[in-house]
Amino acid sequence: FADPAANRIYRFGNDGKVVLFKDNSSGATALRVGPDGRLYCSQPGRKRIVSYGPAGDEKVVAQNVDANDLALTAKGEIHFIDTAYKHVGYVDSKGQKRIVYEGGEIPLPTALSLSPDQAMLIVADGQTRFSWSFQIAPDGSLVNGEPFFRLEMPESSWMSGAQGVTVDSDGLVYSTSAVGIQIFEQNGRCTRILNKPESGVISSLAFAGTDLNWIFVTEGGNLFRRPVKTKGVTAREPVKPPKPLL
């Protein structure tokens, strides 16, 4: 997990200890583990995406990129979101980048995640009540986008507060929000909401642990975790989820 203000990345181990992984990380954020086992992240201040090896060696992946979140495929491709310009970018396995969505229908795109089989891209909207779903074409382009996952909204605000999104191996979608972690079935319906650990804003979430059966969230400068009866997925091994329920 990252501390952009301190320019550091930390690692929480299975032994419950936190150790410094990378110092002078140039404000790194949006951490994702790639199919090659390297840790990918965005460096907004330097407008680039980089990756780190197990020993902390740094490699530049893409430059002139403003990336607020990343999604990595098993083929070494990256989709990234630029919240300020409201578009989704794409970096192919050779490092060539282009914009694949700039429609403007999403008022505040904040986060994204691949479906377990990496056939779809989910884009969270921090403003409205819908997260979007796109099909991914063979060349990485996004097609057939639609507002699909319907979030429950807070009574006192018109902002959904979605800032992080991920999926599990069953195809369920987990999104942070102003009212907690909302869980969606593949048909787009919210079926349950996990309470926030504190009264603040959950800024990100991810599955982790040896069996990917812990869900971690960051909130208010703290890292929280809880065990769950499901498993996350990795970029290296796409998973075919069960057929959606009606």
| Percentage, residues of the chain above pLDDT 90 | 90
| pLDDT band at residue 205 under the 50/70/90 scheme | very high
Does residue 177 register a pLDDT over 70? yes
**pLDDT at residue 157, rounded to an integer:** 83
**pLDDT at residue 158, rounded to an integer:** 85
Q: Average pLDDT, stretch 190-213?
A: 93
Four-point Cα dihedral 22, 50, 31, 21, nearest 10: -10
Angstrom distance (rounded) from CA 129 to CA 151: 5
Does residue 62 register a pLDDT over 90? yes
CB 144 within 8 A of CB 163: no
Q: Average pLDDT, stretch 47-64?
A: 95
Cβ neighbours of 79 (radius 10 Å): 25
**pLDDT at residue 200, rounded to an integer:** 86
Instruction: Give me the residues paired with residue 22 across strands.
Output: 9
CB 101 within 8 A of CB 136: no
CA separation (Å) from 115 to 92, 118, 172?
A: 18, 5, 9
Q: Average pLDDT, stretch 160-180?
A: 95
pTM to 2 decimal places? 0.95
Per-residue pLDDT reduced to its tens digit, 121-137:
999 999 999 999 999 99
Q: Average pLDDT, stretch 47-57?
A: 95
118/243: higher pLDDT: 118
Does residue 81 register a pLDDT over 80? yes
**pLDDT at residue 244, rounded to an integer:** 75
Sheet bearing 29-33, strands edge to edge: 29-33, 39-43, 48-52, 58-63
Does residue 246 register a pLDDT over 80? no
Does residue 104 register a pLDDT over 90? no
CA separation (Å) from 226 to 7, 28, 188, 208, 229?
A: 27, 25, 24, 10, 10
